[in-house]
Chain A
């Protein structure tokens, strides 16, 4: 498919040519795209790359989000989920309580637990290990996708173990892959300003590197739409691209728009839809070596997610059941979708829904 360029801009033509030839884009190319108003040309370029990599297939998974604790030692300004110990609404579930919760919501066909939570310093590392063990024991066939790279860094600090030993201990307990969070914006300026009291850029990338080295294939996110500069977003993408060149361990890149509820982040309103679509498209163009870009309907809303599938995204996430973190920060989207709704969403965008497992093996194609 050739791209129709409405704007006869020379720079845009050069970038389009690079994309057609499969050449890598620079940070400056990314900046030009971000600063351009030519949304549909950018979309077509990203669509072209996505069609080349994934055809018309759009992936989703039947999964369930679980949150063991919202007690967190970090005070990230954008977060509306975290609580201090003893604060109203603070909770930490025992493994037994979690098994009970899962039992109430589990449906046959569910193949992944997506687990994230606060960095609760009052609990020993063994607590986190026991939680995974309990889940694996009760649901041996469900893949455990748990903990961000930032949580791994936190576990390393409280246990005194190396990243590798933390990861190996969790793998032995049942862990199959890490979640992509905790990256926020990989910039020390940003992390300082936003009070991101957790893993630094370097530490986050190092945890991922180690995870890939022991054979885990993982996820990576970016939380955009607050105080970061466009160059910082692009540098974030380039960090991931460079690590991917080295390890080839990332399966998917997930740009998430920040939600506006926490006043500390001083967000006047939701991220602009133009920005959401440009970010999806530019992610597809910049992060050329990661197979998938995910349009996370929790943060985008269902209709915009459908449009994102034409702007380079090839993954619509999953059923989730009950999302908490973005909703506590003011997301307006549904807290989960059924399998039928996801199929509707993808078909409604003219794509082919493919139910996958955690590792993008195809379970069923809904042609």
Chain B
């Protein structure tokens, strides 16, 4: 049903205005077929950022960071290619301290995955299922209401709602879901839906993005999520996430959200087939929109978990991301995204230990004490489902920082 009504991507390009594609450096222009890409990829030997053998001192970049100058595309690529993890970490830490002092933020929140039915077929994903799959589910409004009632009086300040793209759900489902949440949890901030969900909700309901967001906001939506960013480079994006919302559309939705006075976040999915150039391109695109709107609050990375994904099968990706790459990603993001206030270490993706280490490499936010999250766990992450607040407080103290409980919009609720 959804398939026939799908609107071509070129139409969206015409809506949001054509964005000239960045010319990829020569090493990226070879990916005209999977085999070619794969052979190029396999030459890299392992799923980490390739490290330069040149003895690049990074001294000029360090000077720019000290002076508070903006880093260029080339700077970003050099940082990602460099082996000098600790020096990169120090630069990122300098910027972190300049922007956020010694505070490290966390939030007491809970996640809700309302459906795992997804009409998209992203190779990167282990969560989405077709509607006829016996393991698939979509929570009814009654079930959702029961969940919301169960969330009462637990101290949650944020409800994080994300799901698959289930085209059978009418617009009223989303409106009613949020209304029910606000009915039972009037003080909670509902941060819901990635730009990808907003895109498909709008298309299925034949509403404009603006109208979609406005009506969801009227129902109680507080802000939208940063997911669905994956990799913005069109070639990589096409391989890893097929016909999912393209980059221009993703940006158009965030731009519109910001223009309506709402905040959002931004993310990257890394550790699969991307190269340093794609990562830096991704970060610069975000930096440009942020210059324009100032609406992004935080950036975070999702480390790719290969288990149960088609992408891993096709490109023979086996291991997880290296700890080296996890930290470098956050540090380089802190350095490149000089206008996004917060860098978040997403402990469910990289584990609690690495999340703590990330606080020394530019991160200032540990995300939430998440109660229920199925997407990452469908992809086989072994990290436990919930981290108590006390653990966050200890972790932050051990890192020599000030534990700060925040709400969704980064208002300080309590300093420990």
**Docked-complex contact B86 and A47, CB < 8 angstroms:** yes
CB of A305 closer than 8 Å to a CB of B = yes
The 3 closest A-B pairs by CB, nearest first: A37-B400, A303-B323, A348-B322
Chain A residues with Cβ below 8 Å from B323 are 302-307, 348-349
Q: Is A276 an interface residue (CB 8 A)?
A: yes
Cross-chain pairs A/B with CB under 8 angstroms, 6 sampled: A270-B353, A273-B356, A274-B400, A307-B324, A307-B357, A348-B324
Interface string of B370-397 (1 = CB under 8 A from A): 0000000000001000000001001100
Q: Which B residues, 286 to 345, have Cβ-Cβ distances below 8 Å to chain A?
A: 319-327
* A306 CB contacts on chain B under 8 angstroms: 322-324
**Additional 15 contacts, C-beta under 8 A, given A306-B323, A341-B319, A344-B322:** A44-B86, A44-B87, A270-B353, A272-B395, A273-B354, A274-B399, A274-B400, A275-B398, A276-B353, A300-B353, A301-B354, A310-B86, A344-B319, A345-B322, A348-B48
Does B262 have its Cβ within 8 Å of any Cβ on chain A?
no
CA distance A40 to B88 in the complex (A): 10
Say what secondary structure dominates the interface of chain B. helix
Q: Which of A43, A272, A350 contacts B83 (CB 8 A)?
A: A350
B-chain residues with CB within 8 Å of residue A272 when the two chains form the complex: 353, 356, 394-395, 398-399
What's the Cα separation between A306 and B326 when bound, in Å?
11
Q: Are A303 and B48 in contact (CB under 8 A)?
A: no
A347 at the interface (CB under 8 A from B): yes
CB neighbors of B among A26-43 (8 A): 37, 39-41, 43
CB distance A307 to B327 under 8 Å?
A: yes
Known: A44-B86, A273-B356. A332 touches B324 (CB 8 A): no
- Taking a contact as CB atoms closer than 8 A, the residue among B45, B320, B360 that contacts A274 in the complex is B360
The complex places the Cα of A349 from the Cα of B357 at a distance, in Å, of: 15
- The answer to the question of A158 belonging to the interface, with a C-beta cut-off of 8 Å to chain B, is no
> Within 8 Å CB of A310, what residues of B?
85-86, 324
Contact with A along B253-276 (1 / 0, CB 8 A): 000000000000000000000000
B85–A269 CB distance below 8 A: no
Which residues of chain B are within 8 angstroms of A41 by Cβ–Cβ distance?
90
Contacts of B319 in A (CB 8 A): 341, 344, 348
* A41–B94 alpha-carbon span in the complex (Å): 13
B46→A348 contact, CB < 8 A: yes
- Say yes or no: is B186 at the interface (Cβ < 8 Å to chain A): no
Q: A4-B90, A6-B93, A39-B360 are in contact. Are A350 and B353 (CB under 8 A)?
A: no
* Given A301-B351, A303-B350, A344-B46; A274-B357 close (CB under 8 Å): yes
Query: Does residue B205 face the partner (Cβ distance < 8 Å to A)?
Result: no
The proximity string for A residues 329-353 relative to B, scoring 1 for CB distances below 8 Å and 0 otherwise, is 0001000000001001101111000
A276 to B356 alpha-carbon distance, docked (Å): 11
Q: Closest Cβ of chain A: how far from B44's Cβ, in Å?
A: 10
In the bound assembly, the distance between CA atoms of A303 and B352 in angstroms comes to: 11
Whether A40 pairs with B395 at a CB distance below 8 angstroms is: no
User: Which residues 242-281 in A have Cβ within 8 Å of B in the complex?
Assistant: 269-270, 272-277
Whole-angstrom CA separation of A349 from B84 in the bound complex: 10
**Shortest distance between the CB of A332 and any CB in chain B (Å):** 6
By a CB distance below 8 angstroms, the chain A residues around B320 are 302-303
Binding site for B on A (CB under 8 A): 4, 6, 37, 39-41, 43-44, 47, 269-270, 272-277, 300-307, 310, 332, 341, 344-345, 347-350
Q: Are B85 and A301 in contact (CB under 8 A)?
A: no
B136 interfacial contact with A, CB 8 Å: no
C-alpha spacing A171/B395, complex, angstroms: 46
Q: Which residue of B lies closest to A350 (CB)?
A: B83
B398 touches A332 (CB 8 A): no
Question: How many Å lie between the Cα of A304 and that of B395 in the bound state?
Answer: 15
B39 at the interface (CB under 8 A from A): no
Q: Closest Cβ of chain B: how far from A336's Cβ, in Å?
A: 14
CA of A37 to CA of B97, assembled, Å: 13
**How far, in Å, is A305 (CB) from chain B's closest CB?**
7
| A303 smallest CB distance to B (angstroms) | 3
Residue B163 at the A interface, CB < 8 A?
no
Chain A residues positioned under 8 Å from B399 (CB to CB): 37, 39, 272, 274
Contacts of B83 in A (CB 8 A): 350
Please, how many angstroms separate the alpha-carbon atoms of A301 and B347 in the complex?
14
* A306-B48 Cα distance, complex, nearest whole Å: 12
Q: Give the residue name and chain of the A residue nearest to B303 (CB).
A: A303
Q: Please determine whether A273 and B86 come into contact, CB atoms closer than 8 angstroms.
A: no
B89 at the interface (CB under 8 A from A): yes
- List A contacts of B45 (CB < 8 A): 347
CA distance A309 to B352 in the complex (A): 19
Collect the chain B residues with CB atoms within 8 Å of residue A349's CB: 322-324
Quick one: which of A37, A269, A304 contacts B357, CB cutoff 8 A? A304
Q: Would A273 and B353 count as touching, CB distance under 8 A?
A: yes
* Distance of A147 Cα from B327 Cα, bound (Å): 38
User: For the complex, what is the distance from the CA of A347 to the CA of B325, rounded to whole Å?
Assistant: 12
Of the candidates A37, A39, A43, A303, the one whose C-beta lies within 8 Å of that of B351 is: A303
- A276 to B354 CA separation, bound complex (whole angstroms): 11
Residues from chain A with a CB closer than 8 A to the CB of B48 are 347-348
Residue on A nearest B83 in the bound complex, by CB: A350
Query: In the complex, which residue of chain A has the Cβ closest to the Cβ of B88?
Result: A40
- Chain A residues with CB below 8 A from B326, complex form: 303
* B143 CB-CB contact with A under 8 Å: no
Closest Cβ of chain B: how far from A279's Cβ, in Å? 13
> Is there a chain A Cβ closer than 8 Å to B415's Cβ?
no
- Rounded to whole Å, the gap between the CB of A266 and the closest CB of chain B is 15
Cα–Cα, bound, A344→B47 (Å): 8
> B146 interface residue, CB < 8 Å from A?
no
* B208 close to chain A: CB less than 8 A: no
B249 CB → nearest A CB, Å? 34
Question: In the complex, which residues of chain A have a beta carbon less than 8 angstroms from the beta carbon of B361?
Answer: 40
B62: A residues at CB distance < 8 A: 4
Q: Are B46 and A303 touching (Cβ within 8 A)?
A: no
Could you tell me the distance between the alpha carbons of A310 and B323 in the complex, rounded to whole angstroms?
Answer: 11
Does B51 make an interface contact (CB < 8 A)? yes
A303 adjacent to B354 (CB under 8 Å): yes
CB-CB nearest in chain A for B57:
A1
Report the Cα distance A275→B395, complex, angstroms.
10
| B357 and A40 contacting across the interface, CB-CB below 8 Å | no
Q: In whole angstroms, how far apart are the Cα atoms of A44 and B90 in the complex?
A: 10
Tell me which residues across on chain A come within 8 A of B47, comparing CB atoms.
Answer: 344, 348
Q: B357 contacts which chain A residues (CB < 8 A)? A: 39, 273-274, 277, 304, 307
Residue in chain A with minimal CB distance to B353? A273
Residue ID in chain B nearest A272 by CB atoms? B398
B351/A274 in contact, CB under 8 A? no
List B contacts of A350 (CB < 8 A): 51, 83, 85, 324
